[in-house]
Amino acid sequence: MPSRLLTLTALAAATALLAAPAAQAAHDEPVTAILETPALYDEDGADADDPAIWIDPDEPADSLVITTAKEAGLYVYDLQGNELQHVDPRPAPGEDDAPGRYNNVDLITDFKLDGEKVDLAVASDRGMDNLGVFKIENGELVDVTAPDAGWIFSRSQDDVNGEHTAYGLATFQNRSGAYALVSRNAESEVALLKLKADGDRVTWQKVRTLHLPADFDLPSGDSWKPCDDTGQDPQVEGMVVDEATGTAYLGQELVGIWKINADLKGEPELVDTAIEFGLPGVYDPDTDECTYDPDPGYGGDVLHTDIEGLTIYSTGRGTGYLLASSQGDDTFAVYNLKHGNAYLGSFTIDSGDVDSTQHSDGADVVNTSLPGYRGGLLVVQDGDNTPEGTEESSTNFKFLSWQDVAENSGLDLRTNCTRR
């Protein structure tokens, strides 16, 4: 695939898609969270990142929210936001090496392992450049990662220490098996892995990789690359797969949202670009910041970088909504899964029984009504949970009822009728 994929024609098409966004209906009540998990503090090395919602098929009230906290490992919560389990990250393999760092997490159901069908939580481990695979057993995570599964992108421990390692993650299943899409830190690369049983352990095999563009041709004739630290390409983190259509949505943080076949075959196409797309800037290593020139106006109308937290609420086979965290303006953009992924509008999560949500990273939603969550459960990371009047920096996760989002967002969203 050519390195500069976005032509004037493609950019014009993407802009036309956004030219007339759906009007948001007036609404009286704000979208608010029902509850939140305990704060995770930077000073303790804990940083909330990404959630995955596991539904207990036998007792929905015992469903779990499994989350990553980077260098602090994994935290598992019940539907009331109470901590049930903490999984430490893996220790560093050597004195000069980094320990484990769980970045994103997703689920696989009914995976055949050692003669039985089990549900798995799969996490990307940025510190180790591999996956952490956990069997969900009696409401707890049990590590079943094959010890010799190997690195995903690196060829040596020195490569791993260079930190161009496993980053974002999304899982999916089809008739041929269970798979994980894993993106690479500081690169525009995404790998497709097939998950395989190895006795009572789980390993993986790399099927293929996709390289999204790192630089782009603009209508002006100029070449543009997002301003970032020297030696870094625009990376992907938020990803989700619509299993009904076999479509993967990939959030390239400083660029936009792409879609492509989940098997990574074919050419990716842009669903939307960030408002900052095409914005010229120069990186200053002393301040670790970019100095920008005036915006030439080549970007979209909705998403402010970073683009994070992609998740899908399904209302039926192939229908529903793609949600994306627009981290730069603390909103969630909603796109139709059909009709060319038309933009439907955006909503914020305001203060209510718990505080509001800002700079949200990971998100997950299910369309099954659970105890206390009509129409389904939406869980989002709150990147700024710092209590007012304090200087302690903290993050956590907010739990919302999808019915509240549908009714109060002003976007005329549907709910799924599935009950548990």
For the segment(s) 8-408, the CATH number from 1.20.140.10, 3.90.1200.10, 3.50.50.60, 2.120.10.30 is 2.120.10.30
pTM over 0.85: yes
Q: Is the pLDDT of residue 8 over 60?
A: no
Q: Which ranges of 127-254 would DSSP assign to H, the alpha helix?
A: 157-161
Q: What is the pLDDT of residues 242-263, one digit of tens each?
A: 999 999 999 999 999 999 999 9
Provide the residue type at 183 as one letter. Answer: S
- Identify the pLDDT of residue 19: 40
Q: What value does the mean pLDDT of the chain take?
A: 92
Does 200 sit behind a cis peptide bond, omega within 30 degrees of 0 on the bond before it?
no
Structural contact between residues 39 and 394, judged by C-beta atoms closer than 8 angstroms: yes
Secondary structure class of 319 (helix, strand, coil): strand
At 150, give phi and psi (nearest 5°): 90, 170
Residues of the chain with pLDDT > 70: what percent? Answer: 91
Quote the DSSP letter at residue 152.
Answer: S
Tell me the C-alpha distance between 286 and 180, whole Å.
37
Q: What is the pLDDT of residues 200-219, one digit of tens each?
A: 999 999 999 999 999 999 99
CA angle, 223 as apex, 221 and 224 as ends, to 5°? Answer: 130
pLDDT bracket for residue 390 (50, 70, 90): low
DSSP-derived pairing of the beta strands 102-113 and 189-198: unpaired
pLDDT bracket for residue 317 (50, 70, 90): confident
Tally the C-alpha atoms within 13 A of residue 374's C-alpha that lie toward its C-beta.
6
pLDDT bracket for residue 412 (50, 70, 90): very high
